[in-house]
Structure formats: C-alpha cells, structure tokens
Structure 1
Amino acid sequence: MKELLITMKINLYPVIAVFALISWVQQAEAESSQVETEQKLPAVTVTGERIGSFNSDFVQVGTFRDMAPIDVPQTSNVITREVLDAQATTGIFGALRNTAGVTRSQLSGSTYDNIAIRGILVENRSNYRLNGSLPIINLIDIPMENKERVEALKGASSLYYGFVPPSGIVNLVTKRAGKDPVSNVSLMANMYGGINGHVDLGRRFGSDRQFGARINLLAGREDIGIHNFSGHRALVSGAFDWRITDKFSVKFDVEHYRKEVSEQAAIRAPAAINGVITLPSVPDARLNLAGKWQKYDASATNLLLRADYAISDNWGLLFEIGRAETRRDRNFSQFQNYDLATGNGTLRTFFNRGQHWDNQNIRTEVFGRFPGQIITHEVSLGFTGNERKQNPRTSSMFDTAQNLYDPIDIARHSPTVPFSANRSKITDWGVYISDRILIGSKLQAMLGVRSSFYESTAKTTHYKADRINPSFSLMYKPIPNVSVYASYIEGVEESGQAPSNRANSGEILAPAVSKQKEVGVKALVGQGILLQVAYFDIKRASTSVDTANRFVLNGMAQYSGFELSASGEVTKQLSLIGSALFMDSEQLNKANASTFGKIPDNTPKRTASLFAEYRPDSIPGLALSGGVYYVGRRPVDSANQAFVDDYATLSLGARYMTRVAGKRATIQAVVDNVTNSNYWSTAGNGLLGVGAPVMFKIASRVEF
C-alpha cells in the first residue's frame, strides 16, 4: 500500500501542475471577457456529430473525407468518443473490438495490440493513420485519451494510401479545440494497482477565436493482473489550429508517448505429430513465463502539419507533411519445446536494443466541384510521398528451463554479443485522381485511379514495382436515408517481413496485388441508427512458412463473407453498437498441398460484438452498460493442424454524472471479462497468447 501511495503521488505531479495552468487560463479569460463582449463576433457555423452519440455523422478517412457514412461505398465503422468513454477504453484493441472481424494476432496485448481484420494483419507501419494521413507506427500502445474517434475503413485502400494490405485502414482522429472551453481532470485505477492521471485542456483564443489549442497530459503506473508485471506509461500531446484568413488555415498535431512494462512471454504451438498439433490446456490467465526484468521499453513521437487554402467557393488546396518515429528496447521471450503433461520446457529470450522506425510522409491535393443542374463532379487530384526506414537491431539470445503451469523466476541475463543492424528502407509514392459523380439526387458513381512507385531495400533484398490501380463504385439511393452500392477496388501491398523467429528474419517479401469486390446496403433508421450489411470478396497474396522455416509467398488466399453492423441511438435512453462477421476463407496455392484449400492461420469464420448503454429516466445521470464480444475458432497455422477454441467475454459497467461543488463530474466502474475466463486470445505465426484476466477499474472525471 505504501508503494502504491508513493507511485500515485509521483504520477499525479503532472495533474497538480496543470491545476495551476487551469487556474491561470480561467483568470485570463475572466479578465478579457469584458473586452470580448464589446466586440461583435462573426457568425460561426459548427458541424459535427451529435454530442453523446454512438453514431457518427461523417467519416474522415481516405478519399471519403467528411462524407456521411451512408454515402461511403465501402464498409466503414466509427467508434466515437462517447463509446470510448462508456467502455473506459484506453487501447486500440479495446476500441476496435466493437467492429466485426477484429482479432488479436501473435501477441497477447500486454505491450501493444497486434491486430488482424478479417484474418488479414493490419500492417503496423502503414495501416494506422493519424488524422487520415500520417502513417504512425503501431509498435507501442497507441493512447486513446487524446483521440476523438477511431475509424476503421475495411478492405483495400490503395487509391489514397498506396501500398497497404486489404485488411483496412485504422484512422485515429485527435481531439481539437471547439467552441466551448474544456478543462477536464480524470483519474483511473484498477484492482491490481494500476493508476493514471489525465488532464484535457481545450481553448480558443483571439478576437475572432482564430487560434485553437487542445492539450492532453497523462502519466500512470501499469498493472494488468499478470505475475511479474510492472511498468508505466505517459503521454504529452497538443493539437493546434490557426485560421489565418477566411481562406487560409493551418493545423499542427504533436504527440509523444512512452510505455515501459514487463513483456508477457509468448507460447509457441507444439510441433505436429502425423500432421496433428496437440495444444496444451490454456494456462491460468495471471501466469507469466517471463521475468519482471524482461522489459519492453518503447517511445513514439508523431508530428503532422496541414495547411488548407480555399481557392474559391468550390475549390480548395491542402498540403500535409508529417513524421512518425518509434524507438524500442525489448527482451522478447517465447516458451517452446515443452512436455504437454508436465509443462516442462524452454524459455528462449531474444535481446533487441536501439530498434528504430521512422516514417516520413508528404501529401498535396487539389479538390473541388464542377456543379451542374443534373450532373455534379467532385474531383480530387493528389500526390503522396512516403519513406519508411527501420533498423530492427538484434543481438544474442539465451535459453533457460521453465514450466508452463508452474513458472519459476527467471534470473537476469544480459546480451553477450554485439548487436547486428538490419536496416531497410521503403519508398512509396504515387499520383491519384478520383471523381465522385452525382447524377440527380439518387445516383452516384466514384471513379479513381492511382499510379504508384514502390522500392524496398533491405540487407538481402531489393524490389522495385510500378503499378496502376483502378477503383470503381456505383451507389443508388431510393430514398435519402437508404443507399445500395457495389464497388471494385484493386490494391497493392507489401507482402510482409519475415519475423524474428524465422530463418530469413528481416527479409521483406515482394509486393503483390489484391482485388476486392463488395456490395452492400446502408440505412439510417429510428433515432439515428446506422445499419450496414455488406458482402465482400477479397483475393490477395498468401504467405506461409516453408520446410526450411522461411517466411515466404506461396500463392493466393480468398476471403469472402457477410459483415453486419449497427450503431446509434435506439431511443433517447438506449444506445448500442454491434457487429457480426460470417466469412469463408481459403488458400488457393495448388503448389503447396499441405495448405491448399485450408483456412489462413488466425482467421475466424465468425465474430460478433454487442455493446449497449441504458440511461433510465427514473435516475437522471445514471448509465448502465453491458458488452459481449465473441471470436470464433481459428487455426494456429496455415496447414490447419490445430485450432484454438472460440471464446466470448462479458463486460459490465455503470457511470453516474452529477455535480460536485458546481462542477460536472462523472464516476464510473467497469468490469471486463466478468467471468474471469481462461482462453486463447490469439494465434498466428506459430505463437499463442492467453487472454487477460478479469479487470475491474474505476474512473472519475471533473470538468472545470
């Protein structure tokens, strides 16, 4: 208890310091209020989603920027700030579990969330975007505290984003200063002693409110309930904007976050015997096969500058430049070569030091409208340039005895040989044009084409590729709140990089083409519920591990099925967000008999989620919530020699909004994995991960 109190005191220093900043800002506002009231401000029109909604009025990803979801001819999901708050979510998997087809891959999530959508890995260097543009690096937990929303654009997205897998784009939109000032202080703690303090400040300044600033500060102690685990995380971020003239404005985002924690060991699937893998019983969720000293220490800095210029009432120009940088030291361990009956085996630890990833991105685009009485064209013409450098340096490894069911403490070790560099660089640039054609009030067509250049240079490989990729969609709206669409998209993607546990570790595979077809229906019903039903068919290059333990391309894989979702308000008292996936997938690589016709590893046929919040009229301010999250059984390898069982977790929560000393306050309690189930939460790349144990957390927020 004494240690916890000391940690709380240290972690709350940033919170205490910001109280002084809040006081100063409020005093400055009071002194200037008389002057401001004497000035007549110009009328300001504010657009955006409804406050407190589980649904969104627009998306901000790719070429569909600021479009209503019902007009997007592709499956898209938005997790709003209200959903994030209702679930007390602080990580990317916690947000995306509300969308269909999302699973963890390879890692259990104690350090960061490695995610697959529809069985296809969301590439950690290219598929995560900040404010629709900058490719940030998902090798450290991306904090949600400074994000306004999380968007998932499912499927191929190469028209706007270049060489990316057809799993989808995860777009993270930062909080910005609005018309109302924001001064929030929050605390969150869990049953295992984890605690963090968070400050959120937003203001607009100037005679015409032309300056905006949104600051988020976070510091906390990490504990997730597994043994031999400790650490901390922190965030400093700012989102600034300046309306220089009526036609010219700039935005600047900066965020720096760090996480240092003990990394939970991964578990390798046993070797196959006569073509069958026998999996061990699921270990206790609180066990950790790694030592407390086996740390994962990472930090990330993301910078994004954007300028917008209105050429005329119908035409505009934007320019963006950004950089994302991540550094990491890691002691990664995996448990292997074990006896299923006794649990005795070997823990192998890999030392990584000074690992470095650097993404630099530039975009310029001119966009506008050619209005007509019957036909209107909305055109975008742009250029993107992206350079991704990485140096995943590795060193020695060591083996030590360990037991799966009764772990022993692991003695501290240090690297014994010099670190070796494995530098690589990817250059990805392209020119694109898209035309959204509005024909009357009911018919829409979108045409797009991208010409791309790609070059990848690594220690042992060098690839160049030029590619032209088209996209096409047609949409019909019989009534304003219903749309029916069909689309065809070609994408290009990096085929992946061989992971550290393969013989060709670090090798970057040749790029490949993916093709996607989709038809769907979207409708707005009731109080504002968005319903989506889509059938998709994706064909992409397939990877596997050969007999020499090499990660290689070996054919084609097909993913097809139905995806359903609903989000919004059923009544004024009841909100929900739900999803379901029904999918068939198979590998079409005839040259490899062991995997032909089999399901790609870690790919479920079924997933489903449903989260609802009810606010009874009889108790104003009270909100009760519950969520169920289901993931179907998945193969542990591409030969389908074993499957991890399906699982479902239950979450329950309650929050109460009231006033304390005249200030708005919220008190909240949430329990995840209420039944404390043990289950395999992840598979893929020959690794298994155990789901997190029951988690009870409480949170409070005061709005000054």
Structure 2
Amino acid sequence: MQMAGVGLLLASSPAWVMAADASAGQSADAGLTLDNIEIKAAPQVETGDGPIKGYVAKRTTTGTKTDTPINEIPQTISVITRDEMDQRGVQDFNSAVAYTPGIRAIDYAGGQGAPDIFLRGFRAFNLFGIYQDGLRTGFNQYDTNFETFGLERIDVVKGPASVLYGQMSPGGVVNLTSKRPQDEAIHHIEYQAGSYGRQQFGIDLNDRLTDDGSLIGRLVMLRRDSGTQVDHSPDNRTYIAPSITWKPNDSDTLTVLAAYNKTVTGGSEQSFPYIGTVQRSPSGHIDSDTHLGWLGSYYHVETTSIGSIYAHDFANGWKFQQNLRYMHSVVGFLSSGPDVVLNPDGRTQDIGLQYRPKSSNTLLMDNNIQGSFNTGAIRHTLITGIDYSHYRAEETRLNGDPEDAFNNLDLYNPVYGGAPVWFDSLQRDTRSKMQQVGIYVQDQMKIDRWALTIGGRQDYARDHEEDAVSQSSGTQNDHKFTGRIGLAYLFDNGVTPYVSYSTSFQPNPDTDINNKLFKPTTGKQFEVGVKYQPEGYNASVTLSAFDLTQRNVSTADPVNTGFSVQTGEIESKGLELEGKASLNENLNMIASYAYTHTEITQDNTYEGNTPRNIPRHTASLWLDYSVLSGPLDGLGIGAGERYVGSSQNQQNTLRTPQYFLTDATLRYDLGKLGLTGTKISVTANNLFDKHYFEPGYYEDSVFYGNRRNVIATLGYDF
C-alpha cells in the first residue's frame, strides 16, 4: 500500500499514455528520452451516474435505470452537475434546482424537514419523487434532509416515472447522486463565512487505498454553525459520509456508502399573514426576521444510513446490479405555530405548541438484470428487476400553549417568554408500517436511427396505521400497473424529436364517510419534444410540450360535511425550454423557460381554480466566464437572473406577486499569486435583497422569500 510521495502521485493519477515522438529523429537503439515522449491524460469517460466536466450531461441512469444517452430517452431530463453547483455557489437543494425549468422548491425560510417541491404543477410532499442513488429518500418529509456538498449530480426526470420507481407524484422524479470513490485523487478542504453568522468547514478526500486501484476510499465531511434570516432559528449541520469501492476483479464492483446527517433548525412555523406582508396593514409591514412562535421551539433530525451498490458483469454482456440502503432516523420536534394566522385586531397571532418526537427505520432494495442483444436488425437493451421498500415509524404528539401572558404574539412588536403549558393527554400515539414491492421490465430498442422505449411495472403497496390514543387501526392495500412507451428519431445533425406516453400512481390515505379507503391517484402524460446536441459543441437544448392529468383526487363530499369523495381531477399543460452549454474552458451558460397551465378540472369546491403555489411563467439565465490569460488570469465571474410569475392560494382569493431575483459570484485562483491550489470566491443570492413572497400552508398566509445571502469560500486543493 503506497500512500505518500511519488507512489501516491502514480497510484492516484489518471491513466497515462506514452508515445514516442517519431519527428524527434531518434533511432530505436538510442533509447527513449523525455524529448521524444508525449504524455497525455486519458480523457474522462462520462457515465450516467458519474461526475461530469462542465454543465452539460449527455448520459443518465435515472431515466431508464440503464446507462443511456439522454437524447435517446423519450422524456424531458435535466441534470445539475457538480461543476455547475460549485460555480453557482449552491448551498442547498433549493438553490441547486433554481435554474431548472419545471421544478419549484418552496423557499421556506427557517422551515423544517426536507425540501417541499412541485414538479410540473404537482406537489411531491413526503418524498413522493425524491430519490438518492436510485432509491427513495424516505417516506416522511420530516425524517431526513439533504446536504448538497455531498452530491455529485442531480438528475430530474419530468412527468410520470412510476414504471421504474413505483408510487410517486405524477410530476416526475429527482435523483440525487452521492459523491462516491473515483479513480482520480481528490484532496479538497474549504472554509466558508457569510450572512447570519455562517461558519462552515468542509472536506472531500478521495484516494486509492491499494497500489493497483482495486480499493478506493472517499470521505466527505461538513460542519456548519449558522443563523438564518429568522431570529432565534439556527441552521446547524454535521454531515459525515465515508464510502469505499472494491474491485476485486474485472467482473465485480462493490461500493459501500454510509452517511450521518444531523440538522438543527428552529421549530417555528413561519406563516406570515397576507395583510402586513404582501398587503400593507395600518400597522405597517411585519419584519422578515420576526420569529412567529415560542423561542423554545426546535427541529432536530438525526439520520444514519448505510447502503451498497453491487454490480456483476457477466461474460456475455449482461449485468446484475443491486442497490441497497438502510436508514435510521430520530426526530426531535417541538413546533410552534399560529392557531389563526391573524386575530381580529389585525396585529396578533395566538400561538400553539406541539411536541412530536419520532423514530423511523427504512429498508430499500432494488435488484435488476440488464443486458444487450440483437433480434435481426433490432438492437435491444433489456432490464428487468424487482424492488422492495419497508418503512416503520413511531410517533407521539402532545399539544399545548405558551403560558397565557405570552400566548398572544404581537407581530409588530413581539415579546417572547413563558413556559409551555401542556394539555393533559396525548393527541396521537401512532405506529406506521409501509411496504411496497414492484416488478418491472423495460426494453430499449434501436433500429437504424429509431429508438423505441417500452416498459411496464406492477406494484403492490401496503400501509398499516395504528393509534393507541383513539384505539383505532387501518390497513390500506393498493396494487397498480403503470407503463411508458416512447419513440425518438436520431438525426445525424444532433436533432432528436420524440413522443411518449407514461403513467403513474400514488397511494391516497383518505377515506369516505363509510371509512372506505380510497383508490390511488393516477397520472398520465402525453409529451412531445425535440432534443438538440450540436456537433462540435458541448451543448444541449431540450424543448418539450406536455399534457398531464391526475385523477382520483380527493374532494369535499357535497352531501356529508367534513368528509371526502374521490371525484377530483387536476390537469397540467405546458411548455419547457432548457439550454445548457460549456462552450469552452471560459464560458458556461444556462437558459430556461417554463409555461405551466395547471387547473383543477373536477372538484366540489375549487373546480376551475389554479392549484396553490403554481406560477404560470418562470424563466432564468445564468452566464459564467473565466479569464485564462492576461493580467486578470485566474478571475471568474458569474451572474444570473431568475423570474417567477405570480401564484395563488388554493381558493384563488389571494395572489403573491411575480418577482425577479439576481444572483452573482466572483472568484479568483490564488495560484496565480503563488498560492498553488488555493481559490477564493464570493457568492450572493438575491443580490439586490428583493422582498418576495410565496403562498403559505394556510389560505390567508404567505412565506417570506429568502433575503440576500452572501457567502465567502476559501478552498484548498492539495
């Protein structure tokens, strides 16, 4: 084992190609010298789940579970690369997808739990649509969170994807790929300081552990102590993610991925009233940093996971792969929020408390066999597999209030204090158990320039709930077949038109007046589009149009007040355009636009309304330029503009205005001054500190958008 000096450099460097320079005129018996040898680094080979140089990904495994060129997959796919995240100064999931059309993550300052996202107009709450390393990230919004410093890339597939992933929102799937061992050495440390007292230290180390490269290890760590724009609400995190890859021979590869993520934030539900924020009240405007709750509230989540990715290549071109992960989560959550968003006096909220500790265990596994073969002139890439998920959770909930003197919070002049006063009995004491089994098969067929994708899947899902307080229990069993068919034609000039039809399903936990469980909601989508990868340029453009419908949606029972019936329907039609380019070593670009017309087409209360939080128009543009010569050599500058159209509450009685946000970054390679491997950057999100709002969870509430956030990063590669 060689871990230092010249041995380390040789063991961890890329493969080297050595070729004699014939033009040097040296005879064979004169021997080889440095003058007649050319040394070239072997180019990086792009894979569907690996790192990418620049902004443009051309392959993905998320869209088909096989390593496939993106232009052959008959659905819209966006990829956020590590280079893009680094140049834009991405610090969280919301900023990572901020320039991606068709996906909206709610900027919930001081909020709790995993990101709250909408895909093509449909909410993917409780992680219905967020995956990591090909497996679902969990089954409850509050059981986990994500650290973007630990990610290699983010792949977003738009539209129904149940054919490969089972129960999910019809809007699509987001797959987070963890940093994992690579052949090239990585020795990176960084320190950050910024707005709200942010202090963060990160480390990313990757190296060969054996001379022959059969064992490679990686360690990613992060520690953050920070405040937020909300008073008395921290944003602290400890993240540790070791991984190791073992290649004992040419046929087998085993990667073990472990992670520990502890997040500490405030527990106040920051639901501001519409009057006093978007609309001025007689008392003025409520400050964005106002803590809307009890100061003792908190949200702590500690998630530990261990998993593996095993692949065996058979000699005949077939491959077996297994993805496996076990997660254990412990949540401490003392939440505080309004009983009503605004009291009749127009300036106060009544604050309620809820103590809701929870623990959960999740097991996820996906086994598949894939391979290629020919039937006449048709080339097939076939995959068939079975996946399994199991989730168990225990949670109690105890309600209370701050003591009377502090229960009524003046939003314009808040006074905090008091002890909690808990009610005598538990509100809930639940045990949850969810299981899912899915069997899928997919065939990607190519003949000449045609690419046809056909897939089908059968799912069996079971949810059992018990509540010791109400002494009740219930079991819901769902089964559903979903599929996808799509056709693409690959022109020589890089243009690929395509058409597809895909379906999805999502379990619905509601019941009717007779306590009869509802059927799963179902989704179906027709999509047409064209993808363009111009020859000679590292660029990609996708233009798509879609018609997406979700059925079996719950709606109010028109006869029995307080109950639901399953007759609702939501339609989403739209157009999306995305272009990404790494035109040379100097210039990177992102441009996007999305038009999303979403309508509640069947409902006993809201028919004809636009669903909550869905803007009709969004657009963005990002440019990044690096100076590679002259007196400014080593300087880099990036700037971006984001536009988000107006959106409404569920009743469509309140509207949050449209807004433009400007982001910018400035960086310099201090190696040009003799500090080899050292770089410094300054990133600002919402540079001009624009005040903007998004519809809140309550009909007459809003969330304050993220205020200006400036972060300086000092990085060192050695």
Q: TM-score per shorter chain, which class?
A: 0.7 to 0.9
Q: Which residue of 2 aligns with 1:103?
A: 104
User: Are the counterparts in 1 of residues 343 and 350 from structure 2 also a CA contact under 8 Å?
Assistant: no
Matches within 5 A, 1:154-193: 154-193=158-197
Paired residue secondary structure (2:476): strand
Instruction: Report the Cα distance in structure 1 between the residues aligned to 2:566 and 2:635, rounded to whole angstroms.
Output: 54
Structure 1 segment 69-148 matched on structure 2, within 5 A: 69-105=70-106, 107-108=108-109, 110-112=111-113, 113-136=115-138, 139=142, 140-148=144-152
CA distance in 1, matches of 2:675, 2:133: 35
Give the Å deviation of 1:341: 7.0
1:703 equivalenced with 2:678 (yes/no): no
Judging changes above 3 Å, is the alpha-carbon distance between structure 1 residues 691 and 550 closer, same or farther for their aligned structure 2 residues?
A: farther
- 8 Å Cα contact 2:454-2:485 kept in structure 1: yes
Deviations 1:38-60 (A, max 9, x none): xx999998512786401113223
What is the CA distance between 1:616 and its match in structure 2? 3.1
1:391-406 correspondence to structure 2 within 5 Å: 391-398=394-401, 400-406=407-413
Show the 5 A alignment for 1:267-666.
267=271, 283-335=286-338, 336-339=340-343, 342-353=346-357, 355-371=358-374, 374-398=377-401, 400-413=407-420, 415-417=422-424, 419=426, 420-440=428-448, 442-459=449-466, 460-479=473-492, 481-495=494-508, 510-525=519-534, 527-541=537-551, 542-543=553-554, 553-590=566-603, 592=604, 594-617=605-628, 618=630, 619-637=632-650, 639-659=651-671, 663-666=676-679
When residues 357 and 114 of structure 1 are mapped into structure 2, their CA distance, relative to the original with a 3 A threshold, is farther
Q: Does the residue aligned with 2:490 lie in a helix, a strand or coil?
A: strand
- Percent of pairs identical after alignment? 19
Aligned length: 662
Q: Which residue identity lines up with residue 254 of structure 2 in the other structure?
A: V
Q: CA deviation at 1:571?
A: 4.5
Question: TM-score scaled to structure 1, two decimals?
Answer: 0.87
- Give the superposition deviation at 1:219: 1.0
Contact 1:657 1:665 in 2 (8 A): yes
For residue 228 of structure 2, give the secondary structure of its aligned residue in structure 1: coil
Distance in 2 separating the partners of 1:552 and 1:410: 44
Corresponding residue SS for 2:148? coil
In the TM superposition, residue 574 of structure 1 has moved relative to its aligned partner by: 1.8
1:348 partner amino acid: G
One of 195, 199, 204 as aligned partner of 1:200: 204
Of the three residues 233, 238, 254, the one matched with 2:237 is: 233
Ranked by relative contact order (alpha carbons within 8 Å, sequence separation 6 or more), the top structure is 1
- 323-332 or 376-385, larger mean C-alpha shift: 323-332
Pairwise CA distance, 1:256: 0.9
Q: Which amino acid aligns with 2:654?
A: A
**More divergent stretch after superposition (281-290 vs 147-156):** 281-290
- Per the TM alignment, residue 702 of structure 1 is displaced from its structure 2 partner at its CA by 0.2
CA distance in 1 between counterparts of 2:280 and 2:109 reads 17
Find the aligned partners of 1:81 and 1:497 in 2 and give their Cα distance.
40
Counterparts of 1:366 and 1:545, CA distance in 2: 45
Query: Which is worse superposed, 75-84 or 420-429?
Result: 420-429
Amino acid in the other structure paired with 1:453: Y
Quote the Cα distance in structure 1 between the aligned partners of 2:270 and 2:565. Answer: 22
Query: What SS does the aligned partner of 2:271 have?
Result: strand
Conserved in 2, the CA contact under 8 Å of 1:107 and 1:688? Answer: no
State how far apart, in whole Å, the 2-side matches of 1:329 and 1:146 are.
Answer: 24
TM-aligned CA deviation for residue 386 of structure 1: 1.1
Deviation at 1:115, TM superposition (A): 1.6
1:40-79 to 2 correspondences below 5 Å: 46-48=44-46, 52-79=53-80
Question: Is 1:228–1:291's contact at 8 Å kept on the other side of the alignment?
Answer: no
Q: Secondary structure at the match of 1:378?
A: strand
Distance 1:220 1:497, change over 3 A: farther
Contact 1:364 1:382 in 2 (8 A): yes
Residue 5 (structure 2) aligns with: 30
Q: CA deviation at 1:136?
A: 3.8
Structure 1, gaps ≥5 residues long = 1-24, 272-276
Task: Write the deviation string for residues 499-524 of structure 1: whole angstroms up to 9, x where unpaired.
Answer: xxxx99xx996422111111111101
Give me the whole-angstrom Cα distance separating, in 2, the residues matched to 1:123 and 1:385.
21
Q: Is the 8 A contact 1:219 1:234 kept in 2?
A: yes
How many Å separate the matches in 1 of 2:263 and 2:517?
28
Comparing 397-406 with 574-583, greater Cα deviation is found at 397-406
Mapped partners of 1:64, 1:383: distance in 2: 12
Q: Within 1, Cα distance between the matches of 2:285 and 2:569?
A: 32
Q: CA deviation at 1:373?
A: 6.1
TM-score (norm 2): 0.85
- The C-alpha deviation readout for 1:603-640, integer Å capped at 9, x for no partner, is 21111222221123442211111122222211211x31
CA distance in 1, matches of 2:219, 2:105: 31
C-alpha contact 1:635 1:683 (8 A) present in aligned 2: no
Pairwise CA distance, 1:565:
0.7
SS of 2:573 mapped into structure 1: strand
Report how far residue 87 of structure 1 moved: 1.9
Distance in 1 separating the partners of 2:438 and 2:173: 18
CA–CA distance in structure 2, aligned partners of residues 487 and 330 of structure 1: 43
**Contact persistence 1:60–1:131 (CA under 8 A):** no
Q: Deviations for 1:639-697, whole angstroms, at most 9, x for unmatched residues?
A: 31222222221111101123276531110001111221222134345453111221111
Whichever residue aligns with residue 558 of structure 1, its letter is E
Relative to 1, partners in 2 of residues 1:188 and 1:34: Cα closer, same or farther, differing over 3 Å? closer
For residues 223 and 510 of structure 1, do their structure 2 counterparts lie closer, same or farther at Cα, with a shift above 3 Å needed? farther
Cα gap change, 1:570 to 1:401, in 2 (>3 Å): same
User: 1:88 corresponds to which letter in structure 2?
Assistant: G
The 1:344–1:33 alpha-carbon spacing in structure 2 relative to 1, beyond 3 Å, is: closer
1:261 has 2:262 as partner: no
- Does structure 1 retain, via aligned residues, the 8 Å contact 2:110–2:265? no
Residue-by-residue CA offset, 1:21-47 (whole Å, 9 max, x unaligned)? xxxx9x83327559979xx99999851
Map Cα deviations across residues 564-614 of structure 1 (whole Å, 9 max, x no partner): 111122444221123211111111225x1x311111112211112222211
> Distance in 2 between the 1:550 and 1:603 partners?
26
Q: C-alpha distance in 2, partners of 1:633/1:316?
A: 49
Measured after TM superposition, the shift of residue 385 of structure 1 is 1.0
Preserved CA contact (<8 Å) 1:679 1:690: yes
Counterpart Cα distance in 1 of 2:417 and 2:54: 48
2:485 partner amino acid = F
Work out the CA distance in 2 between the residues paired with 1:75 and 1:636.
Answer: 28
Gaps of 5+ in 2: 19-41, 467-472
Partners of 1:564 and 1:596 lie apart in 2 by 29
1:74 CA displacement:
0.8
- Aligned equivalents of 1:359, 1:630: Cα separation in 2: 38
Matched, 1:667 2:680: yes
RMSD: 3.1
Indicate conservation of the 8 Å contact 1:41/1:208, yes or no. Answer: no
Could you list the per-position Cα deviations for residues 134-164 of structure 1 after superposition, in whole angstroms to 9, with x for gaps in the alignment?
4346534310111111111111110111111
Q: 3-state DSSP class of the match of 1:338?
A: coil
Amino acid at match of 1:119: G
Report SS of the residue matched to 1:371.
strand
CA contact (8 A) 1:634 1:683 kept: no
Q: Is the 8 A contact 1:174 1:239 kept in 2?
A: no
Q: 1:231 to 1:131 in 2, by over 3 A?
A: closer
The structure-2 alpha-carbon separation of the partners of 1:545 and 1:98, relative to structure 1 and needing over 3 Å to count, comes to farther
The letter for the 1-side match of 2:577 is: L
Instruction: Check 1:372–1:154 CA distance in 2 against 1; reply closer, same or farther (3 A cut).
Output: same
